[in-house]
A and B are shown apart, each in its own frame.
Chain A
Amino acid sequence: MTPFTLALSDWLALFGHFLVLSLLSVGGAIATAPDMHRYLVDTRHWLSDPQFSSSIAIAQAAPGPNVLFVGLLGWNVGLNAGGGTGGGWFAHGLGLLGVVVAMSGVLLPSSLLTLSATRWAHRNRQLRAVRAFKAGMAPLVVALLIATGWLLSSAGGDPANDWRLWLLTAAVALIVWRTKLHLLWMIGAGAVLGMVGWV
């Protein structure tokens, strides 16, 4: 990670970017993960690839809505800006600021929209426009989930070992699709397989 600091304008840019993504997060915040990756890792270099992937992995392993991965992204951006985990209280303070900026940015617009649109949509659920929106967006929602998995699984960057990661990803996808096995078992299995050096 190249050291960097965040000016007020950078924090506002981060907040603004998440405000926009909030309105685009049809299918959940995870659907905008590819764009978060593009912005935070590729364009701004505020996060490393492993930090991005592990933020999603930790949020998925932990209880609660998966949207909390956005809070972790903000946490890591703030922490990096404060000099990493060695930055002491200052870095952890910036991390908390990152959590607040990222979470409020990604939730505020969508929540306000949900509150104002819910009653209207509920009353007019037989309206042609409402049904056309639901039907027209459904294939995109599905494809965005698969695209997110695709981007996450190709983040390894080590061609010699990548086939094992791909195999693990494909196996987990199959298990999630065909069985009701608790997702936590799979996260645990992934951690163990990683620790023993299989992937």
Chain B
Amino acid sequence: MPAPPPALDAAPLNAPRSRADLFWSFTWLALQGFGGVLAVVQRELVEKKRWMTREQFVEDWAVAQVLPGPNVVNLSLMIGDRHFGLSGAAIALAGMLALPLMVVLALALLFASVADVEMAQRALRGMGAVAAGLVVGTGIKLMAALRGNPMGLPACALLALFTFAGVALLRVPLLWVLLAVGGVGCLWAWRRLAPDVRPAVPAALTDPDSGQTPQP
């Protein structure tokens, strides 16, 4: 392909041809995603299928990340909803989960039938330690995302420390940790964001539905 990158960027976006296309696209994504689907989603939907731009992907990912629920599941709901409404969201979700769920259950059955074999037990023990490392490594990777946080690194480190101590060491139920530490975090971020947001308020806050601009 001799086409230069700018021409590629300017090319119009594609859309899923049908609900069936949506379902099988997400099934194919999910079945490629060993150890996490995010990287596959970016490559397939942004670079290959061109259903969304990189910028849209980053925006959607930010929202998918802060909302509760699995990030890639939330992302599939958003994309399905955008193209086919509620039924599209349900179909994208089904595509993401149906076949992979069968694969996972088949694996579980396989392990159950050899569960008494000592070697299988030892293999699972090793895999469990690796799974723990995968989660920790992903957490360490995501620390880089805190650099641009408006609260500043010391405040972020303190909030993270309290969260870790509460959940991992003191074993406090997650709800209380999220309400207490998360509440403090959101309030602190709200305070830190206050001076910067004022100049942009009038233009940015016009509600597209009502057409009204709130008074600053």
19 contacts between A and B (CB under 8 A): A55-B108, A56-B128, A68-B97, A68-B104, A75-B105, A107-B73, A110-B68, A131-B197, A138-B149, A139-B160, A144-B167, A147-B167, A153-B136, A156-B128, A172-B130, A172-B136, A173-B137, A184-B35, A195-B122
Residues of A within 8 A of B (CB): 20-32, 34-35, 38, 50, 53-68, 71-72, 75-76, 79, 85, 99, 103, 107, 109-111, 113-115, 117-118, 121-129, 131-153, 155-156, 165-166, 168-177, 182-184, 186-187, 189-195, 197-199
Which residues on the A side are within 8 Å of B184 (C-beta)? 136
| B 19-54 to A, binary, CB cutoff 8 A, 1 in contact else 0 | 000000000001111111100000000000000000
Residues of B within 8 A of A (CB): 30-37, 59-60, 62-74, 77-78, 81, 86, 89, 93, 96-97, 99-101, 103-105, 107-108, 111-113, 115, 119, 121-143, 145-146, 149-151, 155-157, 159-161, 163-164, 167-168, 171, 173-175, 177-178, 181-182, 184-190, 192-194, 197, 200, 204-205, 207-208
Instruction: Please report the C-alpha to C-alpha distance between residue A65 and residue B177 in the assembled complex, in whole angstroms.
Output: 25
Given A99-B101, A165-B125, A183-B35, the answer on whether A65 and B146 have CB atoms closer than 8 Å is no
CB distance from B122 to the nearest CB of A (A): 4
Residue of A nearest to B35 (CB): A183
Which residues on the A side are within 8 Å of B127 (C-beta)? 54, 57-58, 61, 187, 190-191, 194
B164 close to A199 (CB less than 8 A): no
Interface of B is mostly: helix
Which residues on the A side are within 8 Å of B142 (C-beta)? 141-142, 145
B193 close to A128 (CB less than 8 A): yes
